[in-house]
Amino acid sequence: MSTETLTAPAEKVKEPKEPLFSKKNKKLISNPLDIDNPVTVQVLGICSALAVTVQLKPSFAMALALTFVTAFSNLFISLLRNTIPSRIRIIVQLAIVSLWVTIVDQVLQAFAYDISKQLSVFVSLIITNCIVMGRLEAFALANKPWPSFLDGLGNGLGYGAVLMAVAFFRELLGSGSLWGFKIFEGMGLAYQGNGVMLIPAGACLVLGILIWAQRARNGYFETE
């Protein structure tokens, strides 16, 4: 998963007085949501996208956790970018990512105990999520803190959007509920949950269809 070629955005912010939400900066957030989505276009972070998307609630928590981690790891690495010795830069990135992930994990255990139990190992596995490391390597090491922060935010949200979309279909078709509410029972219909949607293979199907639909719409093709 780590061999993907990431096209580092070429824009290097040089003018000192750029507005906080300039066109370029807005793009840092909006691109990952659609045409440069980390999950559907770059196909990163699939592991957790398959694992935690059985229901909307844990997916939402996971999306928030990852957005937080990417944004702040990007910010930190960008702040340190001129001091990091290139020979140990990967391990420095890992240390910073682990730092934020552990903090998120601890905070969840203290304030959202039920969700932290549901997410169990997947929070700590954010450390190995390729999106986080990918953004650090491709963007934060070469850009200023504010754009890096936005880039992390954008990619986290892009990941989160896909997670929520997958979870929407899996929870609806798998358990007949949304956000824990029994939708079909509420409408007075009996619904026999679809077992495939509850296992990771169901996520594979939903995600595959999602990737296909999105790429078809945007006219994206893999180039050799």
Displacement of CA 69 from its chain's centroid (Å): 10
Rg (CA), the chain: 18
Q: Indicate the residue among 107 and 189 with the shorter CB distance to another protein.
A: 107
Give, for 93, the enclosing helix (H) or strand (E): helix 89-111
Smaller CB separation from another protein, 42 or 74 = 74
Q: Is 187 in the site for another protein (CB under 8 A)?
A: no
Residue with tokens 């957030």: 29
Question: Looking only at residues 189 through 218 of this chain, which bind another protein when binding is defined by CB under 8 A?
Answer: 198-200
Residue 99 contacts another protein per CB under 8 A: yes
Lookup: tokens for 74: 């990007």
Residue in the structure block whose two tokens are 């999105």: 214
Looking at residues 53 to 92 of the shown chain, list those that interact with another protein (rule: CB under 8 A).
54, 83-88, 91-92
Burial class (CB in 10 A: 0-12, 13-18, 19+), 93: buried
| Among 10, 20, 121, 190, interactor with another protein by CB under 8 A | 121
Least separation in angstroms between residue 92's CB and another protein is 6
The only residue of 2, 12, 113, 217 in contact with another protein, by rule CB under 8 A: 113
Beta partners for residue 216, in sequence order = none
Instruction: Supply the DSSP symbol for 6.
Output: P
Size of the site for another protein (CB under 8 A): 29
Q: Which is nearer to another protein, 91 or 213 (CB)?
A: 91
| Residue 2 within binding range of another protein, rule CB under 8 A | no
Helix 145-175 to helix 56-80 angle (10° resolution) is 170
Contact residues for another protein (CB under 8 A)?
51-52, 54, 83-88, 91-92, 95-96, 98-99, 102-103, 106-107, 109-111, 113, 117, 120-121, 198-200
